[in-house]
């Protein structure tokens, strides 16, 4: 799960069926997630007396505290729509569109600057671990300064100013 966070490339979960326990943890650990309308999510270990401790780590960093605790303490499966409202997934699609929509999302990201994506992903997770807002902004400023010096940005700004595609 830590490796997903550390990969320079964005990782997109594509969920068709039931993602429970470590499966739900995997979805929560991914950078983005698309699910079909028939997908279900849960951390149901508590139903046999086992608190889903490691899935709780990813889940609590992905959804709000009360929603994470509800899932962890009840063991109930939630619908894709509820997972969307909790912030566990990004989009709910018809099962027939799952592959198409997930591929479209990946292609939109792949068109962006590789350097910008890698730098931004690292900053996103690093700043979440900061103990205070000032440290998070210091990381953000450092990232922005580094990013502004990259040729992709120079070209992108020039294209924007000169109204090039």
DSSP alpha helices (H): ranges in the chain?
2-6, 22-29, 53-60, 65-74, 80-86, 98-110, 114-128, 133-148, 151-161
pLDDT of residue 120: 94
CA separation, residue 157 to residues 80, 113, 141 (Å): 39, 13, 18
Q: Above 90 in pLDDT, residue 159? A: no
60: how many CB neighbours lie within 10 A of its CB?
Answer: 16
pLDDT, mean of residues 110-120: 93
Q: Report which of 8, 14, 5, 10 is spatially closest to residue 57, judged by C-alpha positions.
A: 5
The CATH class of 114-161 is mainly alpha
Over residues 11-67, the pLDDT tens digits come to 999 999 999 999 999 999 999 999 999 999 999 999 999 999 999 999 999 999 999
Q: Is pLDDT above 90 for 165?
A: no
Task: Look at residue 160 in the predicted model and tell me its pLDDT.
Answer: 87
- What are the start and end residues of each CATH 1.10.12 domain in the chain? 114-161
Q: What is the CATH number of domain 2-110?
A: 3.90.226.10
Q: Which pLDDT value is given to residue 155? A: 87
pLDDT tens digits along 117-156 = 999 999 999 999 999 999 999 999 999 999 888 888 888 8
**Predicted pLDDT at 51:** 95
pLDDT of residue 50: 94
Location of each CATH 3.90.226.10 domain in the chain: 2-110
DSSP for 88-104 reads S-SEEE-GGGHHHHHHH
CA distance 55 to 1: 10
User: What pLDDT was estimated at residue 148?
Assistant: 87
């Amino acid at each position: 799960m830590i490796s997903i966070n550390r990969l320079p490339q964005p990782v997109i979960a594509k969920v068709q069926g039931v993602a429970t326990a470590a499966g739900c943890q995997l979805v929560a650990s991914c950078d983005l997630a698309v699910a079909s309308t028939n997908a279900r999510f849960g951390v149901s270990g508590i139903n046999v007396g086992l608190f889903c401790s490691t899935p709780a780590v990813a889940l609590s960093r992905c959804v709000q505290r009360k929603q994470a605790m509800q899932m962890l303490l009840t063991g109930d499966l939630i619908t894709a729509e509820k997972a969307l409202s909790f912030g566990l997934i990004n989009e709910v699609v018809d099962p027939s569109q799952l592959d198409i929509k997930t591929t479209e999302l990946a292609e939109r990201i792949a068109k962006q600057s590789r350097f910008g994506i890698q730098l931004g992903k690292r900053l996103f997770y690093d700043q979440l671990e900061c103990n205070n807002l000032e440290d998070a902004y210091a990381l953000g400023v450092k990232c922005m300064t580094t990013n502004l010096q990259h040729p992709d940005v120079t070209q992108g700004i020039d294209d924007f100013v000169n109204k090039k595609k």
